Amino acid sequence: MKMRLFTALTAALACLSAAHADIVVRDDSGQDVRLKAPARRIVTLAPHSAESLYAAGAGTYLVGTVDYSDYPPEAKKVARVGGYSRLDLEAIAALKPDLVIAWQSGNAAVQIDKLRALGLTVFITQPNLMADVAVQLEQLGQLAGTQAVADAAAASFRQRMEKLRAANASKPKVRVFYQIWKSPLMTVGGQQIITDAIRLCGGDNVFGQMTKMAPTVSVEAVLEADPEAIIATGMGDARPEWLHDWDKWTRMTAVKRNNLFHINPDIMQRHTPRILEGAEKLCAHLDVARSHRPK
């Protein structure tokens, strides 16, 4: 009888201890972020973080976010705390968040430091690879206590990603110039998630050797690189008018073969599950470029 009581007491204490155990998740800066309980008042400092929070089943706990956080539609109703590059620290503090999700390459380090100085818990994300999107979902699920939804979303993302990778693994390489803006002329560097998407589709970023996330390049550098395809993004689904600025460079392979394409930036330039939609369109464009090769 005593043994049974002892066993029951030990089990009860173990359950009580587990219920009060801290949540510890390592962020992308290498810091362990610790919470006493699942986050219930979350502020995100980038549109992609807000979107991923909903995908992880924790959107109901979002109390503040930044401009352009417009997906899913529910995110539009959440209070704004400035833009990702110009945060309103007072507005963030006034929301009394128990967790702030920051973006390492998008939010100023000095402002993140100020948030920590205010006593706020900050979790830093920096998904540079397609696979990191799934990891981010799992991390958000752990922090908000929505692991079941988050883990399922992460598994689905990985399954779709690997299916896309397998479908394009043996295809001939396509040299790609990815243009994110006209003036200044901007592209993506080797550490940017879009470069990983290009690789996934059997492409090769002609500026993949550059270390900056969004480096500025010259027209001359693009002409020298002579991409086989140009992928451009503008505002929304509309084909950017400045994509046709390349038409005059008739000796460039992308122009010569009519390989000028565009993708909505919302599904290509946000580190969220929707990037797979963008990658699918990207892969389709590269298939068209392959079909335009001389027979």
150-200: per-residue pLDDT in tens?
A: 999 999 999 999 999 999 999 999 999 999 999 999 999 999 999 999 999
Compute the mean pLDDT over every residue in the chain, rounded to the nearest whole number: 93
Q: Report the distance separating Cα 105 and Cα 198, nearest Å.
A: 20
Please, which pLDDT band fits residue 13 given cuts at 50, 70 and 90? Answer: very low
Predicted pLDDT of residue 12: 52
Clarify whether residues 201 and 144 are in a common domain.
no
Q: Of the residues 92, 122, 154, which one is the last residue of a structural domain?
A: 154
Please report which helix (H) or strand (E) contains residue 224, including its range. Answer: helix 219-225
List the domain range (segments joined by +) for residue 211. Answer: 171-291
Of residues 233 and 259, which shows the higher confidence score? 259
Clarify whether residues 233 and 269 are in a common domain.
yes
Q: Among residues of the chain, what percentage have pLDDT more than 70?
A: 93
Of residues 1 and 221, which shows the higher confidence score? 221
Q: What's the whole-number mean pLDDT along residues 49-58?
A: 98
Identity of the residue numbered 124: I
Predicted pLDDT of residue 165: 96
Tally Cβ neighbours within 10 Å of residue 95.
15
Please, which pLDDT band fits residue 237 given cuts at 50, 70 and 90? Answer: confident
Of residues 139 and 241, which shows the higher confidence score? 139
Whether the per-residue pLDDT at 6 is higher than 80: the answer is no
Of residues 15 and 180, which shows the higher confidence score? 180
Lowest mean pLDDT among 5-19, 199-213, 250-264, 269-283: 5-19
Predicted pLDDT of residue 4: 53
In a domain, 166, yes or no: no
Q: Among residues of the chain, what percentage have pLDDT more than 90?
A: 87
Contact 220, 226 (CB under 8 A): no
Tally Cβ neighbours within 10 Å of residue 100.
29
Clarify whether residues 181 and 282 are in a common domain.
yes
Clarify whether residues 49 and 177 are in a common domain.
no
Predicted pLDDT of residue 230: 97
Clarify whether residues 143 and 207 are in a common domain.
no
Planar angle of CA 137, 18, 140, nearest 5 degrees = 10
Q: Write the pLDDT tens digit of every residue in 259-271.
A: 999 999 999 999 9
In a domain, 41, yes or no: yes
In a domain, 163, yes or no: no
Beta strands 23-26; 32-35: pairing state? antiparallel
Predicted pLDDT of residue 238: 76
In a domain, 164, yes or no: no
Clarify whether residues 274 and 222 are in a common domain.
yes
Question: Helices (DSSP H) in 68-192: which residue ranges?
Answer: 89-94, 109-117, 130-144, 147-168
Clarify whether residues 65 and 134 are in a common domain.
yes
Please, which pLDDT band fits residue 203 given cuts at 50, 70 and 90? Answer: very high
Beta strands 99-103; 86-87: pairing state? unpaired
Lowest mean pLDDT among 13-27, 95-109, 111-125, 246-260: 13-27
Please, which pLDDT band fits residue 18 given cuts at 50, 70 and 90? Answer: very low
In 3-state terms, what secondary structure has residue 107?
A: coil
In a domain, 165, yes or no: no
Please, which pLDDT band fits residue 20 given cuts at 50, 70 and 90? Answer: low
In a domain, 136, yes or no: yes
Clarify whether residues 214 and 270 are in a common domain.
yes
| CA-based nearest residue to 192, from 106, 289, 266, 282 | 106
Whether the per-residue pLDDT at 1 is higher than 60: the answer is no
Of residues 183 and 6, which shows the higher confidence score? 183
Q: What's the whole-number mean pLDDT along residues 229-233?
A: 94
Q: Of the residues 154, 179, 200, which one is the last residue of a structural domain?
A: 154
Q: Report the distance separating Cα 127 and Cα 124, nearest Å.
A: 10
Whether the per-residue pLDDT at 21 is higher than 80: the answer is no
Clarify whether residues 99 and 139 are in a common domain.
yes
Question: Does a cis peptide bond (omega within 30 degrees of 0) precede residue 97?
Answer: no
In a domain, 204, yes or no: yes
Predicted pLDDT of residue 8: 54
CATH at 90: 3.40.50.1980
Clarify whether residues 130 and 193 are in a common domain.
no
How many domains in the chain? Answer: 2
